[in-house]
């Protein structure tokens, strides 16, 4: 039941979008970016379970500006078929933009079960609900957000393209690979109008501080160790989150049904370079001698770089990721707008500035904040 290669989602600009995982890092940036687009007049329904990684503080100004009119939050699990179906029907959803996932590789090593549950069963459940409710409609879209990690690990040369065979190495990447296969199977078998994207490492505002960049910034500000796994020479390709959000929008607008698009920063960096880069930016923004916390906790520290500690490597640590994103550039006209130096500087400055958000996330209060400020109030 293939659909022909050139079908686009022609109603993108006025669609009711179900954004799964919209309270997370990339999902919340996507919601902010799509609602501020001049060319978009539709509604956004943020469907999120609010796990440890879901934080509605990421969207306070969106709730204030658009809440109840063009933005709605629905707390729910993507594994809950009846709830997903009810929400799809109630909001007359035209497109699912599927971010919700367990996203942290280290957590998948220590506890893979949630990853199988959410990333595989959750994606399956969403696909089933969409298939049942859309019942063969072709004027709808299911966009699945995936990762470059499904392609495995590169040596010193080469790039992942859309046709690189899958070779996932961690429970996280294996679960994302499985979900990608399910999405493609629903296109080929049932004709569900899908698109997919596989993206490299994102960074930017609202990044949860278990990941390398925000962890390094926040640990450094507090005078804590900056853990660098192994020899620090593993390479990641970094993309500013706004550029990822724009790429997803271009796919919704112009992407062809059944197609996969690789998205990348074309910006390879060794982890140690990234960590040193952050230290140097912090040195300008919050010089070590002016940092009270460092004076108290680590009085011997003369520069942020002194906090760097090489620690035991991540098991199965992929050595290098690098993306060839020529397809989305040539076919959809997308390109990155941030260079890494600019993006990293803005990101570090954002974490330095947003002390309330940082404090709430660091001490776990963001979850209490959600209960009192969000669920505790009437609209
Ligand atoms: P995140 O961990 O910051 O956010 C995940 C969100 O999903 C959270 O809000 C969480 O509450 C929600 N969620 C988790 N389980 C759920 C469930 N069962 N039901 C409903 N909601 C649930 O993740 P992120 O970094 O924003 O990544 C978003 C997506 O992008 C993921 O699919 C990830 O695989 C993919 N991706 C991430 C990156 C990156 O660098 N962060 C790169 C490429 C692809
Ligand atoms: O490539 C895309 C992927 O990027 C996404 O699919 C994942 O959801 C996202 O979490 C990210 O995965 P990584 O494992 O690459 O990101 P993380 O920030 O955890 O680690 C980046 C690199 O830094 C990696 O080589 C491991 C290393 N690292 C990480 C942490 C948390 C350290 O050296 N020290 C650390 O403390």
Mean pLDDT of the chain: 95
Helix (H) or strand (E) holding 260: strand 260-263
**Per-residue model confidence (pLDDT) at position 288:** 96
Residue 307 CA to residue 227 CA, distance in Å, equals 9
Ligand approaching nearest to the C-alpha of 124: 1
Lowest-confidence segment of 203-217, 276-290, 355-369 by average pLDDT: 355-369
Strand bridging mode 194-199 / 260-263 = parallel
Active site residue 313: no
Residues in Cβ contact with 202 at an 8 Å cutoff, skipping those fewer than 6 apart: 25, 26, 238, 239, 240, 241, 244
Active site residue 148: yes
Instruction: Output the CA 106–ligand 2 centroid distance in Å.
Output: 8
pTM for the model stands at 0.97
Average pLDDT (315-340) is 98
The pLDDT-based confidence of 370 (bands split at 50, 70, 90) is confident
Residue 29 CA to residue 85 CA, distance in Å, equals 25
Tens of pLDDT along 83-113?
A: 999 999 999 999 999 999 999 999 999 999 9
Query: Ligand 2: which of 159, 201, 279 to mutate, judged by most atoms within 8 Å of the beta carbon?
Result: 201
Token readout for 257 is: 């049904």
Ligand approaching nearest to the C-alpha of 175: 1
**Per-residue model confidence (pLDDT) at position 369:** 76
Helix (H) or strand (E) holding 252: helix 241-254
Which of 1, 149, 38, 30 is CA-nearest to residue 95? 30
Instruction: Output the CA 149–ligand 1 centroid distance in Å.
Output: 14
Average pLDDT (323-351) is 98
Q: Which atom of ligand 1 is nearest to the CA of 52?
A: 11
Q: Which atom of ligand 2 is nearest to the CA of 314?
A: 26
Residue 343 CA to residue 155 CA, distance in Å, equals 26
Lowest-confidence segment of 4-8, 196-200, 348-352 by average pLDDT: 4-8
Query: Ligand 1: which of 97, 101, 206 to mutate, judged by most atoms within 8 Å of the beta carbon?
Result: 101
Instruction: Output the CA 88–ligand 1 centroid distance in Å.
Output: 20
Residues within a 6 A CB radius of ligand 2: 103-105, 147-149, 200-201, 211-212, 215, 227-229, 234, 236, 271, 314, 321
**Per-residue model confidence (pLDDT) at position 325:** 98
Instruction: Output the CA 342–ligand 1 centroid distance in Å.
Output: 25
Token readout for 317 is: 């640590």
**Per-residue model confidence (pLDDT) at position 365:** 85
Alpha-carbon distances, residue 40 vs 27, 37, 60, 218 (angstroms): 17, 5, 20, 35
Evaluate whether 141 touches 251 at the Cβ level (below 8 Å): no
pLDDT above 50: residue 2:
no
Instruction: Output the CA 327–ligand 1 centroid distance in Å.
Output: 24
Alpha-carbon distances, residue 41 vs 54, 128, 155, 254, 288 (angstroms): 26, 28, 45, 17, 47
Q: Which atom of ligand 1 is nearest to the CA of 208?
A: 3
Evaluate whether 35 touches 70 at the Cβ level (below 8 Å): yes
pLDDT above 80: residue 198:
yes
Active site residue 71: no
Instruction: Output the CA 68–ligand 2 centroid distance in Å.
Output: 36
Residues within a 6 A CB radius of ligand 1: 20-21, 23-27, 48-51, 53-54, 77-79, 99-101, 103, 118, 122, 145, 147, 176, 199, 201-202, 208
Strand order in the sheet with 95-98: 71-75, 43-48, 16-20, 95-98, 141-147, 194-199, 260-263
Q: How many CB atoms lie within 10 A of CB 135?
A: 7
Q: Whose CA is nearest to atom 10 of ligand 1?
A: 54
Residue 169 CA to residue 146 CA, distance in Å, equals 15
Handedness of CA 148, 149, 151, 154 (dihedral sign): positive
Average pLDDT (278-286) is 98
Alpha-carbon distances, residue 97 vs 85, 111, 141, 194, 288 (angstroms): 15, 26, 8, 10, 42
Find the catalytic residue in 148, 180, 242, 243.
Answer: 148
Tens of pLDDT along 181-190?
A: 999 999 999 9
**What is residue 120's DSSP assignment?**
I
**Per-residue model confidence (pLDDT) at position 1:** 43
Strand bridging mode 95-98 / 16-20 = parallel
pLDDT above 80: residue 56:
yes
**Per-residue model confidence (pLDDT) at position 368:** 81
Find the catalytic residue in 94, 149, 243, 266.
Answer: 149
Find the catalytic residue in 47, 71, 172, 261.
Answer: 172
User: For residues 3 and 360, which has the higher predicted lDDT (pLDDT)?
Assistant: 360
The pLDDT-based confidence of 6 (bands split at 50, 70, 90) is low
Q: Which atom of ligand 1 is nearest to the CA of 27?
A: 26
CA angle (66, 70, 72) in 5-degree steps: 85
**Per-residue model confidence (pLDDT) at position 376:** 59
Residue 264 CA to residue 322 CA, distance in Å, equals 8
Map out the domains of the chain with their CATH numbers: 12-203+240-266+321-338 (3.40.50.720)
Average pLDDT (5-12) is 83
Ligand approaching nearest to the C-alpha of 233: 2
Average pLDDT (124-151) is 98
Ligand approaching nearest to the C-alpha of 76: 1
Instruction: Output the CA 54–ligand 1 centroid distance in Å.
Output: 8
pLDDT above 80: residue 377:
no
């Amino acid at each position: 039941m293939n659909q022909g290669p050139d079908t686009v989602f022609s109603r993108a600009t006025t669609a009711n979008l179900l954004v799964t995982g919209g309270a997370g890092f990339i999902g919340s940036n996507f919601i902010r970016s799509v609602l501020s687009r001049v060319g978009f007049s539709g509604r956004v329904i943020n469907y999120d379970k609010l796990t440890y990684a879901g934080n509605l503080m990421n969207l306070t100004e969106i709730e204030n500006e658009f809440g109840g009119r063009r933005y709605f939050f629905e707390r729910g699990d993507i594994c809950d078929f009846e709830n997903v179906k009810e929400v799809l029907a109630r909001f007359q959803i035209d497109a699912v933009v599927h971010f919700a996932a367990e996203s942290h590789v280290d957590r998948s090593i220590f506890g893979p079960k949630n990853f199988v549950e959410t990333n595989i069963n959750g994606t399956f459940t969403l696909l089933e609900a969409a298939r049942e409710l859309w019942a063969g409609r072709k004027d709808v879209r299911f966009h699945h957000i995936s990762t470059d990690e499904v392609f495995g690990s590169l040596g010193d040369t080469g790039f992942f393209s859309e046709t690189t065979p899958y070779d996932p190495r961690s429970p996280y990447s294996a679960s994302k690979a499985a979900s990608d296969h399910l999405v493609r199977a629903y296109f080929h078998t049932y004709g569900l109008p899908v698109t997919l994207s596989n993206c490299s490492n994102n960074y930017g505002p609202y990044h949860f501080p278990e990941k390398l960049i925000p962890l390094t910034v926040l640990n450094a500000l507090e005078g804590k160790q900056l853990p660098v796994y192994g020899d620090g020479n593993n390479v990641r390709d970094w993309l500013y989150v706004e550029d990822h959000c724009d790429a997803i929008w271009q796919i919704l607008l112009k992407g062809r049904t059944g197609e996969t698009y690789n998205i990348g920063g074309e910006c390879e960096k060794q982890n140690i370079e990234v960590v040193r880069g952050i230290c140097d930016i912090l040195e300008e923004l919050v010089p070590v001698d002016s940092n009270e916390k460092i004076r108290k906790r680590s009085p011997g520290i003369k520069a942020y770089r002194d906090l760097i500690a090489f620690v035991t490597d991540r098991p199965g640590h992929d050595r290098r990721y690098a993306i060839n994103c020529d397809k989305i550039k040539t076919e959809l006209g997308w390109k990155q707008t941030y260079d890494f130096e600019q993006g990293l500087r803005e990101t570090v400055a954002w974490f330095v500035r947003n002390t309330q958000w940082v404090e709430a996330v660091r001490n776990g209060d963001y979850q209490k904040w959600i209960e009192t400020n969000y669920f505790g109030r009437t609209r």
